[in-house]
A and B are shown apart, each in its own frame.
Chain A
Amino acid sequence: MTKVIIIDDEPLARGIVREYIGAYPQLEIVAECDNGFEGVKAIAGYQPDLIFLDIQMPKINGFEMLELIENPPAVIFTTAFDEFAIKAFDAHAIDYLLKPFSKDRFEKAISKWLGAQSRPLPEGLSEEASSPESHNRVVVKKGQNIVVLPVQRIHYFEAFDDYIKIHTAEGFYLKKKTMAYFEKTLDAAQFVRVHRSYLLNLQELTRIEPLEKDNHVALLKNGTRVPLSQSGYAKLKSVLGI
């Protein structure tokens, strides 16, 4: 039996997927969720093989939800937004169903998935798969809780092995991403890569202090010192116009 979860905030939209799935006795719907938080919980609990995922949902969108899952199942996106199709395939989606979709179109998506099953799924999400909101918020997990961080609350990012430490006033959060990802998705006028391992929110910067010879550190409002590389120092100066 194949386990399926439907995640969509509109009950009727879930209904239509449920109806179409009814034609496949080998597919079993183990859960239906109306937001991404429940989705994360349900996926952890049921370990489904396939999920149908809406993009525009309360609190966190479909892409952000996927980011929070360690080994995401196969995904078929169902949405009325055609502008995210490329992002969806970057997120290794099996297919992208545009609402309203026909039964034929749905069946095509299922056969695509059946075909893909014989091949191993690519691991995790591609780095390029940024969600539509990712330029102004970051979704992180702290224990069992999911936290939505508006970028204004982030002081700086710090590389930490395979993870990134996201420093805020309340402490730091960990996320499995790369520096390059955040540097690319966030507003370049606000977040500056001042060091190979540091991405700094300019709003938090109070002073640049010389350390020794050619080295400098950035002093943040909360007193933290962030090292600046030579190229990072140059970049910071050009962004600040000094």
Chain B
Amino acid sequence: MQQPKSQLHFFALLYMGWCLLWAFIQFFILRYYGLTFSQSVRDAALTQSVIMLDGYVILTIVRYFRHTWKNSAYIIASSLMLAYLGWVGLNEVLTYFPADENYLTWLKNVTVIRFVFMALMVVITGVQGWVLVYIREQQQNELLLKENERMVREAELSDLRQQLQPHFLFNSLNSISALAATDSTLARKMIEQLSDFLRGTVKKNANQLVLLSEELQHLQLYLDIEKVRFGHRLVTNIKADEAALSLRLPSLLLQPLVENAIKFGLYDTIGEVIISLEAKATQGYLFVEIKNPFDAETSIPKTGTGFGLRSVKRRLSLLFYRNDLLTTEQKENFYITTIKIPQKELVTEN
């Protein structure tokens, strides 16, 4: 597990401070029990140095172990072992210095307490380190998971958006091919419209938010092309409140809905088809209602939720974490798709 250098230094300093604090405490206790100044300093300094050394070793071990429950037992065992080794060494070193009888007797008397104290300190250090690293690992895992989720979401979003129907493209090219022989001006105009439309669909990002006015402009290009294809059969009626025009919505959201309405309307009825779109601003929402006629007699309800609708619904739930933003209803011989885009939760992610 890699940790930032600065953070490591911070923890090392903190740990040294901790040991220094205990050195002071020990010094005053020893003075209280009647040891000389130099004896107290030497004892406290050496004890805490050994504890610090043990602590360093145990923390190093902790950092490179996998954090399972079985390993936590090993950590405690190694802490005890280290404390024991330190204790033996410390006793050796302390008796090595010139000392009076009094001090030596005292050393013997406190030797068990000293061991218990040292063992406790090292075990606490080991366990603390273990817990810290464990928490950090969990956090890191969580971050990885979140990052992963975000990437999946983004991939899905861009996937959902790029569902431009190839049939639309081929049929439009076929119309242009026909116009090339009969009306070259109109053919050229249609090529321009198609280019503008395609440019609009490729340049936008999956979770980019655009103004309704921009989105409607883009939609108009699409509708103009469809009108050339279907001639007088297709009539569109687009209305938007002044206030709604400056509200935002995810880019390229309306086109698949309108495409769905056109397909549904044109292929389910004979004669002229009116597709209407109405946009309103209400209580923090942008409401868009798209209406197409259909034949309630012969239509199959299932086909109403075609891929266009499903992908828009999925996009909305990925962007807003809500499933109630797209609704459909059948009223007499009309099929109505309504979307509402919450305005206050809108945050541009790019």
Contact = CB atoms under 8 A, between A and B. Distances in A.
Interface of A: 9-13, 15-16, 19, 34-35, 37, 56-59, 80-81, 98-101, 136-137, 147-152
Name the residue in B174, B182, B266, B267 with the highest tally of chain A Cβ atoms < 10 Å from its Cβ. B174
Contacts of A136: 300, 302-303
Contact of A150 (B166, B228, B269, B298): B298
A182 to B, nearest CB: 16
A19 B179 CA distance: 11
Interface in B205-232: 228-231
Nearest to A15: B178
B44 to A, nearest CB: 80
B175 interface: yes
B10 interface: no
Contact of B182 (A13, A15, A35, A81): A15
A34 B170 CA distance: 19
B299 interface: yes
A19 B178 contact: yes
Majority SS at the chain B contact face: helix
Contacts of A13: 171, 174-175, 178
Interface in B312-346: none
B267 A59 contact: yes
Contact of A19 (B175, B176, B181): B181
Nearest to B269: A58
B177 interface: yes
29 contacts: A9-B233, A9-B266, A10-B230, A12-B178, A13-B171, A13-B178, A15-B178, A15-B182, A16-B174, A16-B178, A16-B181, A19-B181, A19-B182, A58-B267, A59-B268, A59-B269, A59-B270, A59-B298, A80-B174, A99-B171, A99-B173, A100-B173, A136-B300, A137-B298, A147-B298, A148-B298, A149-B298, A150-B300, A151-B300
Interface string B256-271: 0000000000111110
A137 B300 contact: yes
Contacts of A149: 298
B177 to A, nearest CB: 4
Interface of B: 166-167, 170-171, 173-179, 181-182, 228-231, 233, 266-270, 295, 298-300, 302-303
B268 A58 contact: yes
A143 to B, nearest CB: 17
B174 A99 contact: yes
Contact of A12 (B167, B175, B267): B175
Given A16-B178, A136-B300, A80 B269 contact: no
A95 B173 CA distance: 20
The 3 closest A-B pairs by CB, nearest first: A80-B170, A99-B174, A100-B174
A149 B181 CA distance: 41
A117 B177 CA distance: 29
Contacts of A81: 167
Contact of A56 (B175, B176, B267): B267
B298 A10 contact: no
A11 B226 CA distance: 12
A10 B267 contact: no
Contacts of A56: 167, 267
Contacts of A151: 300
A58 B271 CA distance: 9
Contact of B270 (A11, A35, A98, A137): A35
Given A12-B231, A16-B177, A16-B178, 15 more contacts: A9-B230, A12-B179, A13-B178, A19-B182, A37-B270, A58-B269, A59-B269, A80-B166, A80-B167, A81-B167, A99-B173, A99-B174, A100-B176, A136-B302, A137-B298
Contacts of B181: 16, 19
Contacts of A9: 230, 233, 266
